[in-house]
Chain A
């Protein structure tokens, strides 16, 4: 089976990695180099801690196991994979109560959670007086571009090809099935299946392939400090948003995650703004993130910010990724809309896409277990967008 994967970001690379491992004939098509889009604009989060029980958490749990496997093959050092664990801290007793209730539901869904009474036992430099938190030992981190490059290289070792170019249109046979992808320069790549792993541009690629899906960009800034000796051991973030999760997503927009990296820098992420593809700098977001980070770790007040970057996280209207075959054009499989969780969900997505292509479970991914992510949820039974 010939598969064209559109997108060489972390998700496309993971799809190629798994599909090539399953013996499929894979070509990865991207207009730019590996991991140059949203992949390079995040912190490299592999999180279970921020996910509510539901279809995304199920995929995240599978993906977490597959990250361990991928880390073994690629070399944990080479992709800066670090199972450092997450620490969610509450700043008020009420928030702590809400956090514990949230963690109990996650634990029931299979997430490892450990209540923390004294935050400074785990994070000696955290602000004094924090009432407590929850430790999530499965949370991990990876350097996303190195990981995407590593996955793609491993796919190439198994026979996959990479190609620079832009997907322009689907080529279909008399029965409406995909037979190839036409690129912007007019070349037709023969294909029995096309994977839309174009991330934030997945909506546009879907339109070109005749299977429009609504993927919207959400702008996020990440701050990077000067390199320091290790000061922060976990991914640390405030639980303030947890109380808001149930009612609305708006509360997520200014919650910050603080963590150290192998290189010694501290990453502070991430904001979420709905401003389309506007690349403008927003100093108010940067100062708000700085203020939140300093409240969690007061020592940061004297630490220099040396860099900030921003990217566009791809999200679907219901904030779940869209993964699976599109009934409107047989042969097209979507794998996009991961919002801020694309790095963590990538191997699970790659395995699930491969399972859909094979028509049978692959590496623990069973299509029958992840129906909540299918594009069908946006379509009426006749295939018309709702």
Chain B
């Protein structure tokens, strides 16, 4: 079943129609958290701008083809929680008709700043790409719901064409109906590998193996959060059913430790069983023919807009830092809120609940009239607590194998943009005592290229930092590449765009 065409959500050929009316809240990111937050804030009477870089609302989890292609690319079977998605879309559409919601799609936010009693949000409109039109938004409150992205660990051959992130495979499928590859091997750790494997198998790819680094018994060490989230069991059982139907083998305590190419593309994947600390067990290596590899080691919160605003971080418990928030999703910066994966990776249901809780805080702090009743709020907060406990249990059950650097040879590229090898990173550590990824970047250029360390940062961190230290991402003052011409023009944009 395809999504019904919803003209109210379309941005139209001439860019979004916006007004220069004052807004109460800017929400960056129209994924589960951002949509839920915007809907609740609008229902409470606020005027909201919802900004997203994508061509349709939904974020990564509810990624959809561009609006014009949704009729010909059925993707409903790939999604979960579509009832929530449709309800949120309906709410947003209704508020857009009254003019209280401004939905800005194809808008890429490159920075935010505190100003007077609020925030400025600086974006470029790429509706008519490659043209970039600068847009400056102002509001007293800012809610950042920018999600997370795949955490990658390098291995020999990971830079071959045909090696993708698990999240990349999923978004090609959801966003364009593209099944990448005919023989696919998935590897890494975490519950996300299963839906990707199930979706690819259901769409006709031969998923030759799913290599899960964790032990199958790991979940059982945290029974309480699991038992309190029966919906997660049902979801896992559904994936299990799909994988069994398509005879997809799931190998636990196994990792992809190398890939080899042929004619400029991945052809063979090397897997190995792992020791307790993650070292490959001698004699267990297998060679599997494959044309596509999807790898995911969990996710890293996308904090690029939050860090420069100066908010405190907290250990997310999965090897990364996330934004520190109070029980109302307030950051330590007054007027700045965040919800979803930016507070620690935990999935879409958690993101929706956090989005709603965050919006209630905005309503409260701005003394808006339309607060939801206390019982509903208490229920959302309970849902947040339950899902957070589940996410923590998942993170503990799916750690990064401590000995993964043993897979690397000295010539394995770690930073692909600047072609910096594991050997170069190791000698920066040994010879110049570099003990964080920032210092390694200064000495080797790892993380100085196009992706600015978004891909290699966590890996470099693991190679040079103490084992128990979570990854603190580099501060990136420019959240997305933007042309100097658009910036030059933006300087001349003195008022809110109209």
Contact = CB atoms under 8 A, between A and B. Distances in A.
Interface string A299-342: 01111111111100000000000000000000000000000000
B442 A35 contact: yes
A306 B450 contact: yes
B60 to A, nearest CB: 22
B443 to A, nearest CB: 6
A33 interface: yes
B477 A281 contact: yes
B484 A305 contact: yes
A302 B432 contact: no
A287 B442 contact: no
Interface string A274-285: 000001111110
B407 to A, nearest CB: 27
B492 to A, nearest CB: 8
Contacts of A268: 484
A282 B113 CA distance: 7
Contact of B491 (A149, A281, A284, A308): A284
B433 interface: yes
Interface residues of A, number: 42
B435 A33 contact: yes
Q: From DSSP, what is the main secondary structure of chain B's interface residues? A: mixed
Given A283-B120, A283-B122, A304-B482, A149 B487 contact: no
B334 interface: no
A146 to B, nearest CB: 7
Nearest to B445: A263
Contact of B487 (A35, A279, A305): A305
A283 to B, nearest CB: 5
Contacts of A171: none
B484 A288 contact: no
A302 B439 contact: no
B487 A303 contact: no
Contacts of A225: 484
A308 B111 CA distance: 11
Contacts of A149: 432, 443
B308 A302 contact: no
Most chain-B Cβ atoms within 10 A of its Cβ — which of A146, A284, A290, A302? A290
B431 interface: yes
Most chain-A Cβ atoms within 10 A of its Cβ — which of B432, B438, B481, B487? B487
Contacts of B450: 226-227, 306
Contacts of B260: none
Contact of A145 (B310, B442, B487): B442
B470 to A, nearest CB: 19
Given A33-B433, A291-B491, A308-B477, A281 B308 contact: yes
Nearest to A262: B445
Most chain-B Cβ atoms within 10 A of its Cβ — which of A265, A268, A281, A303? A281
A110 to B, nearest CB: 34
Contact of B481 (A280, A300, A305): A305
B476 A307 contact: yes
Nearest to B491: A287
Given A226-B450, A281-B308, A287-B487, A305 B482 contact: yes
A169 interface: no
A301 B488 contact: yes
Given A36-B439, A145-B443, A286-B111, A304 B481 contact: yes
Contact of A301 (B445, B448, B485): B485
A297 to B, nearest CB: 9
A259 B122 CA distance: 26
Interface string A137-156: 00000000110010001000
A324 B434 CA distance: 31
Contact of B478 (A145, A294, A306): A306
Interface string B297-309: 0000000000011
A145 B481 CA distance: 25
A303 B486 CA distance: 10
B361 to A, nearest CB: 23
B71 interface: no
B442 A302 contact: no
A374 interface: no
B485 A263 contact: no
B122 A226 contact: no
A34 interface: yes
A34 B438 CA distance: 12
A40 B476 contact: no
Most chain-A Cβ atoms within 10 A of its Cβ — which of B120, B450, B484, B487? B484
Interface in A207-232: 221, 223, 225-227
A40 B485 CA distance: 27
B483 interface: yes
Contacts of A287: 487-488, 490-491
18 contacts: A33-B432, A33-B435, A36-B438, A162-B433, A263-B418, A281-B113, A283-B490, A284-B491, A286-B477, A290-B488, A291-B491, A294-B485, A300-B485, A301-B484, A305-B478, A306-B450, A306-B452, A306-B481
Interface of B: 111-114, 120, 122, 308-310, 418, 431-436, 438-439, 442-443, 445, 448-450, 452, 476-478, 481-485, 487-488, 490-492
